[in-house]
Amino acid sequence: MVFSHRMAALAAVVVIPLGIAATSYALTDSPESPKVPPKVELESGSPSSTPTSTASPTATPTPSDEVVSRPPVNDDDDDDDGPGDDG
- How much is the mean pLDDT over the chain? 75
Residue 3: pLDDT band by 50, 70, 90 thresholds? Answer: confident
Q: What does residue 45 show for φ and ψ, rounded to 5 degrees?
A: -85, -5
Mean pLDDT confidence for 30-45: 78
- pLDDT of res. 60: 65
Mean pLDDT confidence for 28-43: 80
Q: Are 23 and 15 in contact (CB under 8 A)?
A: no
Residue 15: pLDDT band by 50, 70, 90 thresholds? Answer: very high
pTM of the entire structure? 0.33
More confident residue, 82 or 13: 13
39 SS3 class: coil
- Vertex 27 angle, CA 25 and 32, to 5°: 90
